[in-house]
Chains A and B, each alone.
Chain A
Amino acid sequence: MTQQSKTLEIMRRIGAPKLEKIRITGILQSPALASLTFLMPKGDSDSFAAVLRLLGDRSINIRFINKYKDSAGYISLCICIDSEALDEALVVLDANEASLGIKDFMYHPRVKVISIYPHKERPRVAERFLTTLRMQGIDPLSTNNASSVISCVISMDDVDRALASLSDAFELP
């Protein structure tokens, strides 16, 4: 049993305190997507733009991007593309893996982006969003805020549970 599932089991057994609901305007879900996660070469000058250009040149639409530097100094890049474009993206990326210097590469063929709005830069909205999902055993593949929404990438298998738990944790109009 992992540390995470032990914590979850204890919290479920003793019951988490019922928190006051936070008012939001809505919850959005994307169409079916595929996520691709890369570790790219170290350094601030990276192959990030090259990956995006390669996919764009093949008319592959990118609906979500998360990019940052990890603890080892590698560039971590997570992108989501339309699920029907996954096969073509894999062919292109496989063919260019060496020239892009991709160190590690994983993909998930069936994900959705779930967003709640407005986020309005409120820390407690982010906290409630992440903790609500994790209390359900849903670990987002990636999370970010952009403009007025906070969004996460989750497996399509978890979408119904995620939407139900978020509807319970937030007050919708």
Chain B
Amino acid sequence: MGPGETLEIFPLKILRDLTQLSFLRMPTRPGATRPLFDLLERHAVPVRFLLEGCAGDYNRDLVICISAEDFKLLEPELKELNTRMQAQALELRQPVAVIRVLGPHFDIRPGTSGLLFGALERSGITVFSNATTITSSMCVIADDQVEAATLVIGRTFDVPKKKSKK
């Protein structure tokens, strides 16, 4: 990025009052995640955020975010679900929010992600999880940091203002 250049992004998409569930050290066998996704499908629960990473020794970590309301619906089944998935730990974090930053060409402009996360970090905003692909970056943060994060992102990128109705 050139000095003094400010990248334009689309208006932020913010999903609030979510629960982050981390299924840690689960096996990699095919279908290991099926009990979870079947349960979500059965209750028509949308997956607001998803990532999976290597945990070593043929294990995986799976992190998802769903709405707090949907979490309440699933909570009674979580213990059995975790047993069926053979995850060694299930960690919950709530309330969290997902902020989607779209458009600053994460895939073609070196430095864009460093700019975003550097600005958030300097403002004391912790990104619990992040998924960035192509032109979209999804950040999971504490729900009570949404307003601060929105200000920081607005100062870092050129975010179009919503037009007011006359």
Is B78 an interface position by the 8 A CB rule?
no
A120 to B47, alpha carbons, bound, how many Å?
9
Q: A4-B58, A68-B22 are in contact. Are A146 and B132 (CB under 8 A)?
A: yes
Number of A-B contacts (CB under 8 A): 194
Which of A62-83 touch B at CB < 8 Å? 62-71, 76, 78
Q: Are the C-beta atoms of A45 and B126 separated by less than 8 Å?
A: yes
Contacts of B120 in A (CB 8 A): 49
Q: Are the C-beta atoms of B133 and A61 separated by less than 8 Å?
A: no
Is B63 an interface position by the 8 A CB rule?
yes
Number of chain A residues close to chain B: CB under 8 A:
59
Q: A2-B58, A60-B110, A62-B106 are in contact. Are A68 and B89 (CB under 8 A)?
A: no
Which of A22-81 touch B at CB < 8 Å? 37, 44-45, 48-49, 52-71, 76, 78
Q: Are the C-beta atoms of B137 and A7 separated by less than 8 Å?
A: no
27 contacts between A and B (CB under 8 A): A8-B30, A44-B126, A48-B121, A48-B127, A52-B113, A56-B112, A62-B132, A64-B133, A65-B113, A66-B130, A76-B53, A115-B133, A115-B134, A121-B48, A123-B46, A123-B47, A124-B37, A126-B37, A126-B47, A127-B33, A135-B30, A143-B51, A143-B52, A145-B50, A146-B131, A146-B136, A146-B137
Q: Give me 11 other A-B pairs in contact (C-beta within 8 A), A59-B111, A143-B50, A151-B134 excluded.
A: A52-B113, A58-B110, A61-B110, A69-B91, A126-B37, A127-B38, A135-B30, A145-B50, A147-B134, A147-B135, A150-B50
Binding site for B on A (CB under 8 A): 2-4, 7-8, 11, 37, 44-45, 48-49, 52-71, 76, 78, 113, 115, 120-124, 126-127, 130-131, 134-135, 139-147, 149-152
